[in-house]
Structure 1
Amino acid sequence: MLLEHAYGLGHTGLTRLLAGQNTVNYRATNGDETFFVKCYLPGTDLAAERAAIGQSRLAGEHGVPVAVPRSTRTGEAIATSGDLATSLWEWVPGRTAEGGLALGQQKAAGRALGLIHAAFADHPAAAAGASRRLTKWRTTDPAAKLTTDVDQLLDLIAEHPVPDTFDTEAVRTLTERRAALTRLPELITGLPDGLTTQVIHGDLSVVNVLFEGEELTAVLDFLPPAPELVSYELGRVAFDPRTVVHDPDWIRAGVRLVRAYQTTNPRHAAADVTGCARVALIQLLGSLYGVKEHYIKPGLLQDDLDAFWLLRHAAATRLLDRLPDVERALAEAAGPR
């Protein structure tokens, strides 16, 4: 009924898709047209979602392949009725590379990310200040807080009279993480100077990029504009946990994506390239996403979050062990500027 009233669609068939972590999604068919419908959960910050939709539009205007949002008949980005809130998007064919990016996909993703950063380089929201992430790392002791969080999770698991399979894996990985956190201060101290802060996509990973074969068909799920490290997003995509864990030649794969990025964002700084793996590693080590939800507030798809925690932990361990090799390869890619 909301689709008809807000968007002028007649009889519409809906097929429920796999839910996201924060939305319930549908494929809608209306005659010869197909749409993607995103239904927001109660309590969602709709102002932030509207700003995020605006970012998707802006990226599309700069040549980034995106899913095009459809405005309501009154020009709104999101339709609301009571507790129901939805956005409507043109359907884009493609699949996410859940197993990691193939060679051609790495290059396509790098080029798309470069276009996004070039498009957002002068975004007025960057005037809000420095990266909150970098400020937090350099002005607090994140390792101490994280160690406390790890200990609290281990205490919760210890209360289980009969540990299950995930409990056993959680104890192993959390114990390893606790030891790795002792390296966090030196990793932060070793961050290069001159890292660029600007508006970025905000949540770019392989699950938010659609491909048909090696062709990138759409970048999805932008976040609202906020100043953040370019190197954070570059490292997060180039050294995606799926690549690091599943690709035997993951360092070369990451550098390949970085080189493709450089072709479409010539304004990047050398430090953004040389520091991107370190920034990605710091972020991985500082995140308990997945395991924290398991024991404190399970998500909509907690089994997926459990698997994601194990994957990200394995990737963080490998990146930490090979960081000198990775940074040498990135320094060569950055080259003299």
Structure 2
Amino acid sequence: MSTPSHQSAPKHVSATSTPGHTAEEEQITAVAATLVLAYGLHPADITRIPEGTATDNYAVVDQTGRRHFAKVYRTREHLHLERTSVELSEYCADGGVATARATRTREHELIEAHGPLPMSLWSYVPHTASAEGGLAGARWAAVGTAMGRLHRRLSSHPAAVPTREPGATVCDMAASRHRFERLIHAYQHKSRLGKFETWALQAAHERQTILGDIERALASLPRLTVQVLHGDMAGPNVLFKDNEVAAIVDFRPPASGYLAWEIARLGCDPKSVLDNSAESWLTGYTDLTLAYRDANPSASADDLVSSLRVGCAAMLCSAFPLSVPVERPHIVDAAMEAYGRVRHEAALILLDRLPTMEEALRDTLR
């Protein structure tokens, strides 16, 4: 789920569907009908929100002027998993974590699944901007505090008890080698390579060459915390109001993973790394970890220090988005290509400076 701070002009709700309406108008009419029948909510305005990769998202204003966020699922195939995602968000909200609240249907369901349009409805978080553009200034500490509270709450989730697992297994090195071998083979057997594909092939070769270095770096990691996580702790899912985190949104179904990776997923955001000098970025990352520890005092220093190594390794072991032109060419665009280059460059910078950065972070956290 995403809640943008800038929206297009509202589209007024049509009372009925008439011939000649566009597909978007038909969808808005269906959303309006579902809101009335399932939620008892009478919309005055419904605005399509461009964001959303697996859902169609809408900003809704009801007749009392109250604002809502509607998330329409494109398939019913995984609605049971979507429901557990909503339940996880609600569990965190009940524990004081800043997140949007789900609105239940008239039947007290978290997801409307009985009518023609499967949907969830959420409280709207106004006047916000996501962290997608990277972190800077006071937002580093704000993110650390928000993630610390989130992970503290999730550590008590009934789906899994936190455990300590070998840090070396955070990446499946054999699978990574196989992925890059297949990717390189696929590019080499294409009849023609575009500019980005030529670069991606070169980057894949570079990654393949340093996988041994990454494996050795992971081998020295201590045992790290594995627990239930948010599941998609990325910039678009963290909403800021000024310099405070207003909401963490778009939870995945409850599943265990390395705490260090989720910290790094946001803290080692490629754009944040490249938009600052190494010293400035490390200062911000240090602020994040210190605020995180204050909000989650039981957090291990090993998890916080190791997050740098885990984040760097995870980025370099992943073939995304180098693999996109081969596996999902229909989603390749200029933004995807730019992200691929930025992610690759940022990961290599982290790898090159990792020992120095870890030592500085460890000294600060003592």
TM-score above 0.5:
yes
**Which stretches in structure 1 are left out of the alignment for 5+ residues?**
none
C-alpha contact 1:129 1:227 (8 A) present in aligned 2: no
Does the Cα contact within 8 Å between 1:40 and 1:85 map onto a contact in 2? yes
1:93-172 pair list within 5 angstroms: 93=126, 94-127=128-161, 136-137=169-170, 142-172=172-202
Q: Return the alpha-carbon distance in structure 2 between the equivalents of residues 51 and 299 of structure 1.
A: 30
1:129, distance to aligned residue in structure 2 (A): 7.0
Which is further off, 275-284 or 234-243?
A: 234-243
Higher radius of gyration, 1 or 2: 2
Residue deviations 1:12-67 (CA, integer Å, cap 9, x gap): 43221123222221112212021111122225522221111112112222222111
User: Are 2:332 and 1:278 equivalent residues in the alignment?
Assistant: no
Report the secondary structure of 1:171's partner residue: helix
Measured after TM superposition, the shift of residue 81 of structure 1 is 4.5
Structure ranking higher on relative contact order (CA contacts 8 Å, 6+ apart):
1
Which residue matches 1:291? 322
Contact 1:105–1:214 (8 Å) recurs in 2 = yes
The residue type equivalent to 1:34 in the other structure is: R
Asked if 1:51 corresponds to 2:81, the answer is no
1:325 pairs with 2:359: no
TM superposition shift of 1:315: 1.8
Find the aligned partners of 1:266 and 1:137 in 2 and give their Cα distance: 23
Is 2:225 aligned against 1:217? Answer: no
Specify whether residues 294 and 12 from structure 1 end up closer, same or farther in structure 2 by C-alpha distance, changes over 3 A only: farther
8 Å CA contact retained: 1:199, 1:227: yes
Q: Is the 8 A contact 1:70 1:90 kept in 2?
A: yes
For 2:242 and 2:343, the matched residues in 1 are separated by 25
C-alpha separation between the residues in 2 aligned to 1:85 and 1:44? Answer: 11
When structure 1 is superposed on structure 2, of 170-179 and 292-301 the one drifting more is: 292-301
1:91 paired with 2:124, answer yes
1:16 aligns with 2:48: yes
What secondary structure, in the 3-state scheme, does the structure 1 residue paired with 2:193 have? coil
Contact 2:168 2:221 in 1 (8 A): no
1:215 offset after TM fit, Å? 2.1
Residue correspondence of structure 1 range 240-279 to structure 2 within 5 A: 240-248=269-277, 249-279=280-310
Q: TM-score, normalised by structure 1?
A: 0.90
Residue in structure 1 matched with residue 214 of structure 2 by the alignment: 184
Deviations, residues 282-303 of structure 1 (Å, cap 9, x unaligned): 2112211222233113465755
CA distance in structure 1 between the partners assigned to 2:222 and 2:163 by the alignment: 19
SS in 2 for 1:79: coil
Distance 1:229 1:144 in 2: 19
Report the equivalent of 2:12: none
Task: Determine helix, strand or coil for the equivalent of 1:76.
Answer: coil
Distance 1:307 1:160, change over 3 A: same
Aligned-partner SS, 1:327: helix
Report whether the alignment pairs 1:202 with 2:235.
Answer: no
Provide TM-score, normalisation by structure 2.
0.83
Name the CA distance, whole Å, in 1 between partners of 2:250 and 2:330.
Answer: 18
**Which letter does structure 2 place at the counterpart of 1:87?**
S
Once the two structures are TM-superposed, the CA of residue 209 in structure 1 deviates from its matched residue by 0.7
Match of 1:72 in 2: 105
C-alpha RMSD of matched pairs (Å) = 2.3
Gaps of 5+ in 2: 1-32
**Pairing 1:1-12 to 2, within 5 Å after superposition:** 1-12=33-44
Contact kept? 1:281, 1:320, Cα under 8 Å: yes
> Is the counterpart of residue 310 in structure 1 residue 341 in structure 2?
yes
The number of aligned residues is: 330
